[in-house]
Structure 1
């Protein structure tokens, strides 16, 4: 049996039951059916203790541990809520704390959740270029979910469930060729 890959899942939402967190959890569950993984998950809450910390050393230990986890993971699932057509400022602040070479060639599956379909291209126009700057290996298919895809705290839209499976299939193929 092959050694499990370390997957770090990060939600740019501070809530563990946000649409973004629910989406990321569903993606991670699908990846676990496809690849041998060891999962660590975190959200943005630890960064809110010092939201304007400009250097890594200014952050609380829990926030620094998240950055280390992101940089040291074999695989990433990264997601942000959509605000005004883009990722949140807090999500960008976390990404700004990552070392420039910290994501180089790292496989990442990008996710976002927003209120409606008008934000659907955010993953392509905002998230993908952000991770491209770091030289991360973004999966060919990203995942966007809107509020209509959920009933309470569950993904209920069959099209989104299919997209998750399709995105994870491509992600797994990409990972297996590395």
Structure 2
């Protein structure tokens, strides 16, 4: 097994989740290209202790383990469904628990889903500033997918797949990969 880890965090609290499927798709693409292990979790996987925790030490052991994996990952792919023009509250609460320096310099691919195009700027106006605060290395290409980009819960849009491949190539270069940029899905 590879020593590298690509980790996905989905801000969705329902299952099945288009957001989690979208994040898993991107995580899988990065992992294949850098020969890394991959794992994706959603906020629900953190359990009941998340909502009550005011600091990391108040999370149950399983949730703390997920936090440790986030901090240790070589690449993060983060995504949230759009609620009222922003990410979910528990998604934000999870990141509020992290030390401000925990993600410094870490390559992060930003992704979001929503019901329509009017929410597409969530990645630029909500997610990018959040990870800028952490001094993470957010990829220039962020990806937003609306309901019409999915079929039967899976990503179906060639345009969104191409945009995801562009972000994947950027992340690979950020961690020292030499693979050339390929926009083919």
Do Structure 1 and Structure 2 share a fold, with TM-score over 0.5?
Answer: yes
Runs of at least 4 residues off by over 2 Å = 14-17
More strand by share: 1
Q: Could you tell me which residue of structure 2 aligns to residue 98 of structure 1? A: 98
Q: Could you tell me which residue of structure 2 aligns to residue 17 of structure 1? A: 16
Deviation, 1:48, is 4.6
For 2:15 and 2:62, locate their aligned partners in 1 and report how far apart those are by CA, in whole Å: 16
The alignment partner of 1:176 has SS state of coil
Check conservation: 1:67, 1:97, Cα contact below 8 A: no
For 1:116 and 1:95, locate their aligned partners in 2 and report how far apart those are by CA, in whole Å: 26
Q: Could you tell me which residue of structure 2 aligns to residue 158 of structure 1? A: 158
TM-score normalised by the chain length of structure 1: 0.92
TM-score normalised by the chain length of structure 2: 0.88
Return 5+ residue gaps in structure 2 as ranges: 178-185
The alignment partner of 2:6 has SS state of strand
For 1:106 and 1:89, locate their aligned partners in 2 and report how far apart those are by CA, in whole Å: 23
Return 5+ residue gaps in structure 1 as ranges: none
Q: Could you tell me which residue of structure 1 aligns to residue 84 of structure 2? A: 84
Q: Could you tell me which residue of structure 2 aligns to residue 144 of structure 1? A: 144
**How many residues align structurally?**
175
Aligned ranges 1:1-178 → 2 under 5 Å: 4-50=3-49, 51-176=51-176
Deviation, 1:35, is 1.4
Deviation, 1:65, is 1.2
Deviation, 1:73, is 1.2
The alignment partner of 1:71 has SS state of helix
